[in-house]
Structure 1
Amino acid sequence: MSAREFILPDLGEGLTEAEVVAWLVAPGDEVAVDQPVVELESAKSVVQLPTPFAGVVESLGGEVGQVLHAGEVLMRLTPVGAAAEAAADAPAATARADVPARTAPEAAEPGIAVPTESAGEESGAVLIGYGTRATAATARAASAPSRFGAGRAIGGTSAAGPTGDGTADDRPASPPTGAQDLSPAGETPHRDEGDDPAVAEAHAAHTLEHGRHSPVISPIVRRLAREHGFDASELLGTGPDGLVSRADVEAFIAELEEARAGRTAPHAGLPTVATATPPTPDTRAGEHRVPLDRMQRAAAAHFSRSRREIPEATVWMDVDATELLAARRQLNDATGERFGVTALVARFVVAALRRHPSLNASFDAERDELVLHDGVNLGLAAQTPRGLLVPVVHGAERMSLRELRDAVQARTEQSATGAFPPDALSGGTFTLNNYGTLGVDGSAAIINHPEAAMLGIGRLVERPWVVDGALAVRTVTELTISFDHRVCDGAEAAAFLTYVAGCIERPISLLADL
């Protein structure tokens, strides 16, 4: 059997390229279906891609730090035992010469693979171009490479994999134990006579080396280094396997500034010229320019497209949320579990979209058609280390309140690191934005193109409120809906908003629709 090619799939939302952050396997490794094999950084997040095929890794499509484009070969896999089978079948090759050979998978278009033979094992992961099949994901072996564990040499670079929980930590890491030559091959580490070995080791760690590919987890660390004119992966970090932390980057920046100020002489490997982005001819005294990274460029283009194409309108209203908080306390006491306000409002939104499906839609400008979506893929605007992202809870209309709460919580936890599964940032049909967590009451939000609407929740504050003709202190919030006026008119948007408001003010009223 011939090798199968794992083509870099479409990562969704118009993303056509991604940088290899870490390989989790090496040539010669045997992998199972749905085993994570590579970690990629796109314009929106850091994601782990699982392989849709099982087999033995024949070759990798790029080195750490290399940018790959959708449609390029990410990895080649040889079926397990293929070499032995080829040797055993060699004597019979002539007898089978008249049998047509089976064709290998072909790429119909960038990012889309069309296999011509059925695999014995099939992927249950969601990869655009590879489909979704009913096979349980295979657990990773305990011996699988880890970002914080032993790295493997791949093509002359050091590759490392992720931790089990996929989290990033910018806290300073402890230096590796044991004696270790941190200098390039054939060179002697710079050390002044009488230097403390620990100080010399720290100096070596904060030395740039062109072509080095140290593991860098955090996008914040990468961005900080780029803003000061160098590549963080060219540092040798003080973490395990040379992991570069924020403390390493900040220490190197401090040394650069000291060297430029003439307070200290640069040590071996420290740039002797300014490495910051050179000012443009337009730059005036007292200002500096910071180039946008890949994610910021993608976000800017997305926001501009939304403002340019969508004729949006906004309506809002103040809502008494006192009964919602009381119902939440009763629910928590009755179940012994914790239900957040966002999860409860998300359930109200799903019910409201069932009554007002035109808001769970998008507008096809090329055909002048309204596209109504049968399912509710609920986006949740989130501030992450990589900036503003909208992870999606797919199939929210099929979930119970408990299931929806768990899905929202999972996306919230992923937002803390900015690392999401491949499908988590695509396919949204409506967005919920709880900007009250930022301490504001309202916002004329930009609609998440190509969706038709976004609901915002303001902060919960105590205010004087008229109840049964008398003033009372109540907990009040502001609801705001921004909507595409091509998709619906103000009356429809207002009806949606008042339904959600009614559920917040009288949560028991939703029982009639369950």
Structure 2
Amino acid sequence: MSRDFLLPDLGEGLTEAEIVAWLVAPGDTIVIDQAVVEVESAKSIVELPSPYGGVVTSLFGEPGQVIHAGQVLLTVTEAGSAGTPDDVDVPVAAATAAAPSEGSGAVLVGYGTTESTRPPRKVAAGRFGTPRAADAPALPAPTASVPVARAERPAEVAASASTEIDSSSTVDPIRRSPVVSPIVRRLARENGFDASTLAGSGREGLVVRSDVEDHIRDLSAPAAAPAQPTTTTTPGAPSVSDLSADLRIPISGLRKVVSQRLTTSRREIPEATIWLDVDATALFAARDQLLTATGERFSVTALIARFVVAGLLRYPVLNSSVDTASQEILQHGAVNLGIAAQTSRGLMVPVIHGAHTMSTRQLRDALAALVAQSPDGTFAPSALTGGTFTLNNFGSLGVDGSAAIINHPEAAILGIGRMIERPWVVDHELAVRTVVELSMVFDHRVCDGGTAAGFLTYVAGCIENPVSLLADL
């Protein structure tokens, strides 16, 4: 009896995902809840466990391909089943099979643990570059697979024959070391090898990022040697040195969601931008005083986040969204502060939920936790939803200001520019002060300029005189 594993509903309205890597191959025997494929949605990279156990008959998709919820990922046949078809042109289906006797313990929605009722359809053998298990040729001996897999790297093969390299950093095609991090797996894949074929230096043989980076250095070392100018190229193909060749980059995954959200924001929201230069010298002095008094470090961004939350409590209409269906302004009771973050996956806005209930110390710790995850963009899906206002510190990118695009469906976003020393007039005299530019973009449907200006000047007043915040505590 055969069963189809369908791409489940990944939650938060996500209807598609990109296959990052297959963790199994046709002919493998798997158990219920074993991770079989790694996919990347607009929110995160996850490994999907199979709701069925048995022999993997076929895979439907290849790395880089976008699949939609409800689409078949793979077909599993019960071990020892006599009904496994041998025809490579017809994918395995179970339109009339009985209900499964075992169920998955996985909790993702839409796993399709009931039998598929889709009609059989013809699929050409090797459509996705992965032959059916019944027709797959026998794997060559490991010693024969190495030169075949690296036939396009003759310099590396020659170097490996003449140079002794530690066996812990070499690729073994039959090795299957544990790999947990999607970033580590992707880094290896982008450099032409499978991370699981390395001998990991982590606990219980876990392959960590340094193992992959060490192997990449081993691969690139021979490539650094002078190469002959003659290369074998396909007739009509552009040369590697042809820098004038166009490059098509698909808008998919996170970039696709960001594109759609920003386009919707520009199309629906009549935004207006105001900005203000602020003397932040006293803010740095207050930060140093906190360090002296408590022995704890508070970042400038964390302190400004504290002022922003206080400002939203004073001007709550900015903590809103517009319900276009009912033509109502939905003013949110909770302040869920989004923090714009530049990650390796692109622009993301993780959210500090319930920021209005936090002390300055708690807000600082929550912000630090998000910053620690920002480089890899490994945020949980729940951390990327529910924001009501966004704070964007684009000063870290080296710019003074920006007319930012509001994070739809929110009503406003506050930008922090770089903080630099500038000439500033203090008590009618010229002085050198640390100055920052604040940029405020707001939805003009929600409020008028007076409200937005009141919020901006309030936050600016807290920056210029942090003690003034005590009046609102």
Normalising by structure 2, what TM-score? 0.65
> What letter is aligned with 2:19?
E
Please say if residues 20 and 186 of structure 2, whose CA atoms lie closer than 8 Å, have aligned partners that are also in contact. no
> What letter is aligned with 2:420?
V
1:400 aligns with 2:359: yes
Quickly say closer, same or farther: Cα 1:363–1:261, change in 2 above 3 A: farther
Identify the range of structure 1 (431-440 vs 58-67) with the bigger mean alpha-carbon deviation: 58-67
Kindly provide the CA deviation profile for residues 316-349 of structure 1, in whole angstroms up to 9, marking residues without a partner as x. Answer: 1111111111111111121111110111111111
- In the alignment, what sits opposite 1:435? 394
- In the alignment, what sits opposite 1:8? 8
- In the alignment, what sits opposite 1:323? 282
Indicate which of 429, 454, 458 corresponds to 2:417: 458
Indicate which of 257, 262, 276 corresponds to 2:230: 262
Please say if residues 373 and 429 of structure 1, whose CA atoms lie closer than 8 Å, have aligned partners that are also in contact. yes
Gaps of 5+ in 1: 77-103, 116-154, 157-179, 226-230, 267-271
Indicate which of 161, 165, 181 corresponds to 1:197: 161
> What letter is aligned with 2:335?
V
Quickly say closer, same or farther: Cα 1:395–1:195, change in 2 above 3 A: closer
Mapping of 1:223-302 within 5 angstroms? 232=190, 235-236=193-194, 239-240=198-199, 248=216, 262-263=230-231, 273=234, 286-294=244-252, 295-302=254-261
C-alpha distance in structure 1 between counterparts of 2:112 and 2:159, whole Å? 61
Please say if residues 381 and 390 of structure 1, whose CA atoms lie closer than 8 Å, have aligned partners that are also in contact. yes
Partner SS for 2:383: coil
Please say if residues 20 and 67 of structure 1, whose CA atoms lie closer than 8 Å, have aligned partners that are also in contact. no
Give the CA deviation at 1:276: 8.1
Kindly provide the CA deviation profile for residues 164-184 of structure 1, in whole angstroms up to 9, marking residues without a partner as x. Answer: xxxxxxxxxxxxxxxx93654
- In the alignment, what sits opposite 2:42? 43
Give the CA deviation at 1:413: 0.8
Give the CA deviation at 1:246: 9.8
- In the alignment, what sits opposite 1:358? 317
Please say if residues 338 and 391 of structure 2, whose CA atoms lie closer than 8 Å, have aligned partners that are also in contact. yes
C-alpha distance in structure 2 between counterparts of 1:325 and 1:395, whole Å? 26
Kindly provide the CA deviation profile for residues 242-276 of structure 1, in whole angstroms up to 9, marking residues without a partner as x. Answer: 98659749968x97xx999524xx7xxxxx64898
C-alpha distance in structure 2 between counterparts of 1:339 and 1:307, whole Å? 35
| Root-mean-square deviation (Å) | 5.1
C-alpha distance in structure 1 between counterparts of 2:413 and 2:218, whole Å? 39
Partner SS for 1:466: strand
Please say if residues 421 and 435 of structure 2, whose CA atoms lie closer than 8 Å, have aligned partners that are also in contact. yes
Mapping of 1:60-459 within 5 angstroms? 65=63, 69-70=68-69, 111=109, 181=142, 183-184=144-145, 196-197=160-161, 232=190, 235-236=193-194, 239-240=198-199, 248=216, 262-263=230-231, 273=234, 286-294=244-252, 295-459=254-418
Gaps of 5+ in 2: 76-102, 114-131, 134-140, 201-206
Query: What count of residue pairs does the alignment treat as equivalent?
Result: 388
Partner SS for 1:478: strand
Partner SS for 1:423: helix
C-alpha distance in structure 1 between counterparts of 2:212 and 2:10, whole Å? 29
Give the CA deviation at 1:476: 1.2
- In the alignment, what sits opposite 2:98? none
Please say if residues 45 and 182 of structure 2, whose CA atoms lie closer than 8 Å, have aligned partners that are also in contact. no
Please say if residues 378 and 394 of structure 1, whose CA atoms lie closer than 8 Å, have aligned partners that are also in contact. yes
- In the alignment, what sits opposite 1:19? 19
Kindly provide the CA deviation profile for residues 381-406 of structure 1, in whole angstroms up to 9, marking residues without a partner as x. Answer: 11111122111111211211111111
- In the alignment, what sits opposite 2:81? none
Partner SS for 1:477: strand
C-alpha distance in structure 2 between counterparts of 1:47 and 1:346, whole Å? 31
Give the CA deviation at 1:72: 6.5
Quickly say closer, same or farther: Cα 1:505–1:12, change in 2 above 3 A: same
Quickly say closer, same or farther: Cα 1:218–1:27, change in 2 above 3 A: closer
> What letter is aligned with 2:306?
R
- In the alignment, what sits opposite 1:510? 469
- In the alignment, what sits opposite 1:100? none
Kindly provide the CA deviation profile for residues 182-231 of structure 1, in whole angstroms up to 9, marking residues without a partner as x. Answer: 654997987999875366999xx999x9xx9x9796769969x9xxxxx7
> What letter is aligned with 1:340?
S
C-alpha distance in structure 2 between counterparts of 1:239 and 1:293, whole Å? 32
Please say if residues 18 and 43 of structure 1, whose CA atoms lie closer than 8 Å, have aligned partners that are also in contact. no
Identify the range of structure 1 (460-469 vs 413-422) with the bigger mean alpha-carbon deviation: 460-469
Kindly provide the CA deviation profile for residues 116-150 of structure 1, in whole angstroms up to 9, marking residues without a partner as x. Answer: xxxxxxxxxxxxxxxxxxxxxxxxxxxxxxxxxxx
Give the CA deviation at 1:23: 6.0
Give the CA deviation at 1:362: 1.1
> What letter is aligned with 2:273?
T
Quickly say closer, same or farther: Cα 1:185–1:249, change in 2 above 3 A: closer
Please say if residues 58 and 75 of structure 1, whose CA atoms lie closer than 8 Å, have aligned partners that are also in contact. no
C-alpha distance in structure 1 between counterparts of 2:472 and 2:218, whole Å? 56
C-alpha distance in structure 2 between counterparts of 1:232 and 1:276, whole Å? 22
Partner SS for 1:299: helix
Give the CA deviation at 1:447: 1.0
C-alpha distance in structure 2 between counterparts of 1:188 and 1:320, whole Å? 61
Kindly provide the CA deviation profile for residues 17-63 of structure 1, in whole angstroms up to 9, marking residues without a partner as x. Answer: 24355769x944789xxxx99854223543578x9xxx997479989
> What letter is aligned with 2:402?
S
> What letter is aligned with 1:419?
T
Q: Percent identity?
A: 46
Please say if residues 22 and 215 of structure 1, whose CA atoms lie closer than 8 Å, have aligned partners that are also in contact. no
Quickly say closer, same or farther: Cα 1:352–1:300, change in 2 above 3 A: same
C-alpha distance in structure 2 between counterparts of 1:246 and 1:468, whole Å? 59
Indicate which of 450, 457, 461 corresponds to 1:498: 457
C-alpha distance in structure 2 between counterparts of 1:194 and 1:22, whole Å? 31
- In the alignment, what sits opposite 2:92? none
Please say if residues 20 and 62 of structure 1, whose CA atoms lie closer than 8 Å, have aligned partners that are also in contact. no
